[in-house]
């Protein structure tokens, strides 16, 4: 088996990310910061060879993929299999609102990331949906470099599955907005060469911090 490289990018920020709302499969668009993060991803990957591109069909991921690939004549393949887990009755709620309305269920979910969510997608189904997609992807694109733009949940599931980690590990690492993780798959199995890399966002975050400081009332006293 030739080495296959999976470049896993999480979409840029949305207003719901900023407000700490459960998004799930609600179609919240990118915020202005999210668009800037996607453009930073474009700069990071502009010289990287990419043979195929797959993205969640939700707008925040698809738009991120479009911005990353600006200037390239590359086909983007949207697929519902890369959507975030459906979070049922919690979608649209802030964490505090969900905790107030469903305290026991949220507490269990915090301990067990695949625990049942009221009216939501079954955790086992979610894992199977994502892992089956990546199995097909690796069969179709053996030896190629593939960009996948998705959400924190599917990216985490893919990483755990490819590295043979138990799904209980989902709670033990972060996948941030606009981050990149890279998994290389070869004859000896999978290797994670990059996890939640945000180096390309450093200049953007620094500029935003400076802008906030310049706009602070304390600066004009």
**Sheet of 4-10, strands arranged across:** 76-79, 52-56, 145-150, 4-10, 180-186, 189-197
Catalytic residue check, 11:
yes
- Annotate 104-119 with DSSP letters as a single string: HHHHHHHH-TTS--TT
- Residue in 13, 42, 63, 84 annotated catalytic: 84
Q: Which two tokens stand for residue 151?
A: 């959400």
Closest CA to 19 of 28, 27, 10, 11: 28
The one catalytic residue in 11, 42, 151, 200 is: 11
Given a contact cutoff of 8 angstroms between Cβ atoms, the answer to whether 40 and 134 are in contact is: no
Distance from C-alpha of 187 to C-alpha of 32, rounded to nearest angstrom: 42
Catalytic, 200? Answer: no
> 203 exposed, middle or buried (CB, 10 Å; 0-12, 13-18, 19+)?
exposed
* Residues annotated catalytic, as ranges: 11, 84
């Amino acid at each position: 088996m030739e080495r296959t490289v999976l470049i896993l990018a999480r979409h840029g920020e949305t207003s719901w990310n900023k407000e700490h709302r459960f998004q799930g499969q609600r179609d919240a668009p990118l915020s202005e910061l999210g668009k800037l993060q996607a453009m930073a991803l474009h700069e990071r990957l502009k010289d990287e060879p990419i043979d195929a591109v797959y993205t969640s069909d939700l707008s925040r991921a698809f738009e991120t993929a479009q911005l990353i690939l600006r200037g390239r004549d590359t086909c983007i393949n949207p697929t519902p299999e890369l959507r975030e887990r459906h979070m049922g009755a919690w979608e649209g709620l802030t964490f505090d609102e969900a905790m107030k309305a469903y305290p026991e269920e949220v507490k269990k979910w915090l301990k067990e990331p695949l625990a049942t969510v009221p009216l939501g997608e079954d955790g086992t189904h979610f894992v199977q949906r994502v892992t089956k997609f990546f199995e097909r992807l690796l069969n179709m694109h053996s030896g190629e470099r593939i960009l996948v733009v998705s959400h924190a949940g599917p990216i985490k599931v893919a990483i755990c599955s490819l590295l043979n980690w138990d799904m209980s590990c989902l709670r033990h690492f972060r996948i941030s907005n606009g981050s990149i993780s890279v998994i290389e798959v070869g004859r000896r199995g999978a290797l994670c060469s990059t996890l939640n890399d945000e180096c390309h966002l450093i200049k953007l975050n620094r500029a935003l911090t400076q802008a906030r400081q310049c706009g602070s009332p304390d600066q004009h006293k």
